[in-house]
Each structure stands twice: as C-alpha cells, then as structure tokens.
Amino acid sequence: MAQLKNFIGGKKKASKSGRLLKDTNPADTRQVLASFPDSDARDVDAAVRAAAAAYESWHLVPPPKRGDILFRAGLLFEKEKKSLARLMTREMGKVLKEAEGDVQEAVDMAFYMAGEGRRLFGKTTTSELKNKFVMSVRQPLGVCGLITPWNFPVAIPSWKSFPALLCGNTVVLKPAEDTPATAIRFAEILTEAGLPDGVLNVVLGGPETGAALVRHPDVRLISFTGSSETGRKIAAECGRTLKRCSLELGGKNAQIVMDDADVDLALEGALWGAFGTAGQRCTATSRIYVQKKVYESFKRKMVAGARRMRLGDGMDPRVQVGPLVNADQLERVTDYVKLGEREGAKIECGGGPAKGPGLSHGYFFQPTVFTGVKPSMRIMKEEIFGPVVCIMPVSDLEDALKQINDTAYGLSSSIYTRDVNAAMKAIRDIEAGITYINGPTIGAEVHMPFGGVKDTGNGHREAGEHGLDIFSEWKSVYIDYSGKLQKAQIDTEPS
C-alpha cells in the first residue's frame, strides 16, 4: 500500500500530526489504494508559508510566461489522460469515459488559460481632464486557498488553480479526502510542466485541514466547491476577516419536457443527466417536469431506461453507473429514498442499494425514479446527490417554469422543445446560472462562465474570462502629464 504525503514547497512531506487516513476503492472496499495524512494547522501553515515565499518571485513572472507553463501542463494532462482517469476511477468510482472527460476539462482549461496569458486585459479610457491618461490593470492577490470536491478531482482543481496561477497568485490546494492520490498527481504534472516550487502546494486531510486553511490569516482568498451548508460556514468565517470568498455550492436541477419535444432525445438527456456519475454532480438532473400529453410515455421510457442501466466497477467499459463515493454517501441516498416513500411518493424502479455479482463489496445504489411527487416534498426540495430523480406532470410552459423555479437552488436547467418562443421564454424566466435548450442539465465548456444563483453560490463564476475576476484585483491608474495640480471634478471645465 502506497503512503501519500503532502506536497509543500515542491517536496513531499509527512504531516506534523502523524495521523493517517485510508484511500479506498468505492467499487471494492477491500482494495485500499493508499494511506495519506490527516493534516493539521501546522501543515497548513507550512504550505501557506511556502506559497507566500514563492509569491515574491512568481507574481513578477510575465503573464505570457505563466501561460506557457499552463500550456505545457495541458500537453502533459493530455498525454496522461488514460492513466490519470484510471487512478480517478479507482479512487472515486466514476466510469472511465467520464473520468477521461474530467481530465479533458483540465486540458481544455490549461490551453484556454494559457491563451489568457496574452489577454490579461485591463481597460484604457478617456479622462475628464486635459493632459491626463487613465487605465485599469489586473493585479494578483497573494496566497489563494482552494478547497475542492471528489466528484471532479481534476477538472475542478484546474478551474480554480489555472486562473489563480495565471493572475500571479500562489496556491494551497486542499482536495477531498476521497481523492488524495489524484490531487498529488495533479500537482506533480504542474511541477513537471515547469511550475516553480511552492507556487502550488497540496495539503491532504479532512475537515480540520480545510478549516485551518480558511482561518489562516495569510490566505487572501478561499475558493470552495461543495455543499451549501459548508459554504455558509466558510462565508461566515471569511466575512469575519473580510477575506475574499468564492462559493460554488449545491443544485436541485430540473429538466422540462414539452409536448412538442423529441421525447427520445429528452429521455437520453434525462438518463445521462440523472444517472451519470451516479447522480453525484452539482449539475445532476434531479427533477423532471413533463407536459401531460407526453407524461405517461416519457415516464414509461424513463423507468425502462433506468432499469437497463448497467452498474459496476467503473474500470469495466461496459458499466454505465459506478458506485457512490463512500459509506456516508450511500447512507445519505438510502435515507432520502426512505424519506420519499414516507412522504407518499411512488418508487417506479430502484429504491435501494444494489446487490449482485461484482456489487457486494462496493457502495452501489440502484438508479431510482420517483413519481407521485408533490412540490412540497423534501425529495423535491433538497439535494440528494445520488442516482435519484423525480418526475412530475405539468399543464403548460407557465406551470413548468413556476415549478422549476420553486427551489432554493439555481445552478443548471434544461428544456426540450421545438418551439423557439417557448425556448426563449425559458432562457429569460428560469432562475439559474445555466440553461440548456434540447440538452441535459450537466456539462460545461471552459470558455463559458460556470455558477448559479440563490443558494447555489455567492455570485462569482468559474471558467471563462469571468473566472479571472475573483483571482485578481482591479487597480485604477492615473497618469497626469499636465505639469500642474489638477483637482479632478473641481477643475473640470464648465459645460
């Protein structure tokens, strides 16, 4: 069994705490992949000090040169896509094709942000005074703390770290406990690409590790992806010291299927949206609103499709749905399904942990479809984060829009329709950061802003040029070449 160490200042270092956790394969818990440190505040402090020291020279590197390093990293991620995907699948369970897509997002983000190294634009504009020039420029913040989840253990660290690094910041990454080996390999690849020692550091561990990073006085920003409950705690702590805070939180995403939709296409999208990554995505489809004319047909096909899904070890190319990530997640999903039954919803298929050949030693849960649901039910309100979806009939577009917005969240949304007018109304009226027309709720492109509204976050966006905003400060610059004191509004000429 391998023993992982923290990655601090370009070196692998054991934790000061001496405590170790186990990295286990969720498809077969008999396989312990590695042990890794449960780091404490001393380890976090060492990583922050290494990042602060590296910042002194890194922020002076020209942005195009920083971009060159990211470009080389993209080439290495591309070269190692299959090996990194296999490591990811063994750590957190998603099927290999999805894991390869996860790595591809890092490739795409590396190449995109490499280009931004020559496009780190500010603005020039006119001055209200004579012989005066004004402009704005981006400047780095300092040390950034990144706390990332296990469901996209390469993509999400790339969404956060690549724009942070491009802007001239240094980074301390605290990955999820379920994917430590993937995080260490992520850092190693960046080092192989030429990233200087200390510019990106990785501290492994559990909640204590993350809390120490959030509290550290020399960390200028926290970027967190995870639950809304944890996000609120982080926001409160950051608010206490006026530390920058970017939150990408939960979702209760919904798909609308109108009478005029291509039902088979909508079905294909719903199955992928609901059961891809075993439903463990913040963008997963968990509610489906179907217009009454096609409701019965869609429901029947959805249930049949869910029953056909092949469960198993994600390393098997025939498998469509891998395991849940750990025992706590299996218990959470099981409890929500039991709650749905108590609330009066009907289980059309699934409904519990999956058993059978190759499944007895993993955290597998059957793809589950609920009908007979009501908007007030908790299974319609709360994020389950598993392969569970609720289907509800609606009378028309207005009813569908009312229902889709009846949630505390607002990340991703979808409508299937051939009516351009209905599509345009959905784009305008759905309260979400992302809306798909004739596509499922999941998926993102790296040049587009990613994030949501309401309890899904605190207004910031990741990816695209907008992803640079949280990781940089705007500085306004005034150059007065008049040779005399000009008092701005006081000295402006009368109109």
Q: What's the rounded Cα separation, in Å, for the pair 105 and 393?
A: 35
In the predicted model, what is the mean pLDDT of residues 52-67?
Answer: 98
- Give me the percent of the chain exceeding a pLDDT of 90: 97
pLDDT for the residue 488: 83
- Across 239-261, average pLDDT: 97
* Alpha-carbon distances of 318 from 238, 281, 312, rounded to whole Å: 45, 21, 9
Contact of 390 with 345, CB cutoff 8 Å: yes
CB burial readout 247-264, b (16+ within 10 A) else e: bbbbbbbbbbbbbebebe
Distance between CA atoms of 253 and 147, rounded to whole angstroms? 23
- Residue 494's pLDDT band (cuts 50, 70, 90): low
Q: Taking Cα atoms as reference points, which of 27, 28, 29, 20 lies closest to residue 2?
A: 20
The pLDDT, as a whole number, for residue 495 is 57
pLDDT for the residue 491 = 75
342-372 pLDDT tens trace: 999 999 999 999 999 999 999 999 999 999 9
From the list 238, 245, 282, 390, the catalytic residue is 282
The catalytic position among 248, 348, 383, 462 is 248
Q: What is each CA distance from 259 to 160, 195, 254, 287, in whole angstroms?
A: 40, 53, 17, 17
For residues 147-175, average pLDDT? 98
Tell me whether residue 229 is one of the annotated catalytic residues.
Answer: no
pLDDT of 377 higher than 90: yes
- What confidence score (pLDDT) does residue 434 get? 97
- Predicted confidence band of residue 81 (pLDDT cuts 50, 70, 90): very high
Mean per-residue pLDDT of the chain: 97
With CA atoms as reference, report the closest residue to 106 among 189, 176, 172, 224.
189
User: 0.85 exceeded by the pTM?
Assistant: yes
DSSP lists the bridge partners of residue 368 as 388
Tell me whether residue 105 is one of the annotated catalytic residues.
no
As a whole number of angstroms, the distance between CA 39 and CA 23 comes to: 15
Beta partners for residue 171, in sequence order? 144, 200
- The pLDDT of residue 5 is above 70: yes
pLDDT band at 306 (very low <50, low <70, confident <90, very high): very high
Q: What is the CA radius of gyration of the chain?
A: 24
pLDDT (tens digit, 9 = 90+) per residue, 208-246?
999 999 999 999 999 999 999 999 999 999 999 999 999
3-state secondary structure the chain: CEECCEEECCEEECCCCCCEEEEECCCCCCCEEEEEECCCHHHHHHHHHHHHHHHHHHCCCCHHHHHHHHHHHHHHHHHCHHHHHHHHHHHHCCCHHHHHHHHHHHHHHHHHHHHHCCCCCCEEECCCCCCEEEEEEEECCCEEEEECCCCCCCHHHHHHHHHHHHCCCEEEEECCCCCHHHHHHHHHHHHHCCCCCCCEEECCCCHHHHHHHHHCCCEEEEEEECCHHHHHHHHHHHHHCCCEEEEECCCCEEEEECCCCCHHHHHHHHHHHHHHHHHCCCCCEEEEEEEHHHHHHHHHHHHHHHHHCCECCCCCCCCCECCCCCHHHHHHHHHHHHHHHHHCCEEEECCCECCCCCCCCCCCECCEEEECCCCCCHHHHCCCCCCEEEEEEECCHHHHHHHHCCCCCCCEEEEECCCHHHHHHHHHHCCCCEEEECCCCCCCCCCCCECCCHHHECCCCECCHHHHCCCCEEEEEEEECCCCCCCHHHHCCCC
pLDDT of residue 14: 96
pLDDT band at 200 (very low <50, low <70, confident <90, very high): very high
HEC readout, 236-297: HHHHHCCCEEEEECCCCEEEEECCCCCHHHHHHHHHHHHHHHHHCCCCCEEEEEEEHHHHHH
pLDDT of residue 104: 98
Least confident of 9-13, 206-210, 439-443, 474-478: 439-443
The confidence band for 444, taking pLDDT boundaries of 50, 70 and 90, is: confident
Q: Which residues of 278-299 are buried (b: 16+ CB within 10 A; e: fewer)?
A: bbbbbbbbbbbbbbeebbeebb
267, pLDDT greater than 90:
yes
Q: What is the predicted pLDDT for the residue at 442?
A: 87
